[in-house]
Chain A
C-alpha cells in the first residue's frame, strides 16, 4: 500500500493539525487547549523555556504520550488514540531523530538503518546494504561508519546515524528533538545545513524542537513558541516585536541579537 495524500485542498496542505490539546502529569497541566498547524514542506521550529513541554508535545504527536483532551491529526488521521496497525501505518510515514540518537547499541550503524527496512519491506540483503550505504553518505558520514557500533561514534556522528535511520523508509515528515544540542558550533552549523539540504531534496516536512537560535534563523520557515501553556506561532521578525516577557527575552536578549544579526 503506497499512501498518497493528494488532498491538496485549495490552500496550504496541513500535515499535522492539533486542536484543543491538553496534556499533563498528575495535577500539573503542561499544555492547556493548544492549537497548531504544520504545513507540507515547511520547517517548523518549536522553542520554549525548560519545562514548558516541547518534548512532551513531540512525544504526544508521535503517540508516546496520551493526551488528556483534544485531537491530533497527522496526514489527516488521528493519533494519540490510534492503536496497533493503524498507528503502524502512520509510523512508517514519519521518521524521528531522538536527542541522543537512540541507536540500538548491539547493532552496527548499517544494521540500525536496516531495521525498519527489514521490518516493513521485502528488500534483498544486497539492496538493503546499498540503501544503508546511500543513507550514510546522504547524512555526511564516512563510508566506514557502516560497520561501526554506536559506542565507537562521537556525539555528532551518532546524531547523523540516527538521522540516517530516521530517513530509512523515505518518510514525508521528520521529527527532530534538539538536533544540534551537544554539538560544537561548527558541527551544529553543518547539521543545520544538512537538514536544510535534505529537506529540500527529499521534500520533507520538518518538526524540530530546538534551543538553538542559530538553527531557528538559519533553517526554520516558521516558529512555534511555547509560553504559559499556550502556543504562539509566527516568524522571527514577528516575535522580535512581541512584548510577552519570555519571548522578548528570548529573541531580543544578547544571544538573540547575536544569532539574528546576520
Chain B
C-alpha cells in the first residue's frame, strides 16, 4: 500500500520545558500520525504561564497547524496561561485561517433504535412485514395506473402507440436472449431425460421418460426457466436503465416536457416483453424437447421417429398451451416490477444497485408464486 507517511527517523519534534512549549522540524501530514500519538501522551503539568515557540518549525501544513493549535487549546484547558504563540512569519496566515472558534462536531452515526437483541430481532421482523405490506400496496397502485394508461392507449391507439420503442424492446428482451435461453432449455431437457430414464429404468418403463419430458418441459420447466432468465436479464436492465435516467434527472426533464413516463418508458417495455416472452418460451420448449430427444437417443437408444410417436401420445396441444398461457402473465409481472423499482431510485449510485437487486429478487419470487397459483388453478379446473 502506498503511504505518504514518513517511516524513517521522525522529522518533527516538540518538548514542554519549564514555561515554554517548543516545536520544530517538519510539522506536516507525513508526520501527523506519530505526532498525534506523542501529543496525546503529553504531560501538561501544573498550571502556569506558558509561551508556545514554534520558531524552529521548518515546514508547516494545515494538518500540522491543527495539531499545534489543538495542543495549545489542550494546554489552555488544563489551566495554563498562554501568553504568546510564535510560528515563522510565512505561516501566520495559515494559523489564522485554521484558528477558528468552531469546535469539531462530535462524531454522529445514524443508528437504528437501541434495544435488546431479542427485542431488536422481533422489531426487524415486524418492520420487514409492514414494509412488505406497504410495498405490495404501492405496487398495486402502480398496477392500477399502468392498467388505466393501457386502457387509454387502446382507446386512442394512434396518438400514444410508440411502435419503434416497443419493437426495440422486443429485440432487446427477446431476440438477444435466444442463445442463452436456448442453451439453458436444451440442458434442462438433457437433465430431465437423464434423471427420468435413471428412475424409470427400474420399473422397465424407460419409454415413459418421453412423457415425463414432454409434460415437464412444456407445462412447467420451459416457461419457468425462461421467465427466470428474463427476470435476471431484462427486469434488471429495466430497473438500472430507468434508475440511471432518474439519477441524471432525465425523468424530471421528460415530465416537465409533458411526456408521460408510463406512456413513453413503461408501456413499451411491458408490451415488448409481453410479446417476446411467450415467443421465447415456445423456443425454450422446442429446445428442451430437442435436448431430451438427444439424451434419449444416446442413453436409451430411442430413435427419433419412435421418440416422436411416443411424444405425440404423451402430450396434446393443451399441454403446450397451459405452459404458454402463463408467459404473458410472467412478462407483465417482470416488466412491471422492473419499471416500478426503476422509478424508486434516489439520486445516488448505491440506490441503483440496491433497487436492481430488489427488482430481480421480487420478480423471480413473484414468477414462482404465480406459477404455483397457476398449477393449483389448472388442477381445480381439471386441465
Contact = CB atoms under 8 A, between A and B. Distances in A.
Contact of B62 (A89, A143, A151, A170): A170
B63 A131 contact: yes
A150 B348 contact: yes
A222 to B, nearest CB: 22
A83 interface: no
Interface stretch (A58-66, A120-128, A180-188, A241-249): A120-128
B43 interface: no
Interface string A106-126: 100010000000011111110
A237 interface: no
Contacts of B59: 4
B346 A89 contact: no
Interface in A191-249: 197-198, 200-203
Contacts of B31: 2
B97 A197 contact: yes
A105 B354 CA distance: 14
A150 B93 CA distance: 30
B124 interface: no
Given A89-B2, A138-B97, A146 B105 contact: yes
Contacts of A4: 59
A170 B97 contact: no
A122 B30 CA distance: 10
A111 B5 CA distance: 20
Contact of B349 (A105, A121, A167): A105
A12 to B, nearest CB: 18
Interface string A128-148: 011111110110000110110
B159 interface: no
Contacts of B116: none
Given A127-B33, A143-B104, A169 B97 contact: no
A146 B63 CA distance: 17
Contacts of B62: 134-135, 138, 167, 170, 202
B65 to A, nearest CB: 9
B313 interface: no
Contacts of A18: none
Contacts of B30: 1-2
B63 A151 contact: no
Contact of A2 (B26, B37, B90): B26
A192 to B, nearest CB: 16
A110 B32 CA distance: 18
Contacts of B26: 2
A143 B104 CA distance: 7
B13 to A, nearest CB: 15
Contacts of A138: 62, 97-98
Contacts of B70: 130
Contacts of B94: 201-202
A257 interface: no
B252 interface: no
B102 A123 contact: no
A121 B29 contact: yes
Contacts of B2: 85, 88-89, 92, 120
Interface residues of B, number: 41
Interface string B36-57: 1100000000000000000000
A2 B3 contact: no
B234 interface: no
Contact of A200 (B5, B33, B93): B93
A129 B29 contact: no
Contacts of A122: 3, 5, 33
A151 B33 contact: no
Nearest to B348: A105
Contacts of A201: 93-94, 96-97
B4 interface: yes
B67 to A, nearest CB: 8
B346 to A, nearest CB: 7
B11 A2 contact: yes
B348 A121 contact: no
Given A127-B36, A138-B98, A169 B4 contact: yes
Q: Which of B3, B29, B96, B347 has the most CB of A within 10 A?
A: B29
B349 A106 contact: yes
B111 interface: no
A106 B105 contact: no
Nearest to B96: A201
Interface in B13-37: 26, 28-33, 36-37
Nearest to A117: B29
Interface string B98-112: 101011110110000
Contacts of A119: 1
A202 B59 CA distance: 11
A88 B4 CA distance: 10
A144 B66 CA distance: 19
B97 A151 contact: no
B61 interface: yes
B350 interface: yes
Nearest to A132: B104
Contacts of A198: 97
B250 to A, nearest CB: 16
A141 to B, nearest CB: 10
Contacts of B11: 2
A146 B108 CA distance: 9
A124 B33 contact: yes
A151 to B, nearest CB: 6
8 contacts: A1-B6, A2-B11, A120-B4, A121-B29, A123-B36, A127-B32, A151-B348, A201-B93
Interface of B: 1-7, 11, 26, 28-33, 36-37, 59, 61-63, 66, 70, 90, 93-94, 96-98, 100, 102-105, 107-108, 346-350
The 9 closest A-B pairs by CB, nearest first: A133-B104, A105-B348, A2-B30, A170-B61, A201-B93, A88-B2, A201-B97, A106-B350, A201-B94
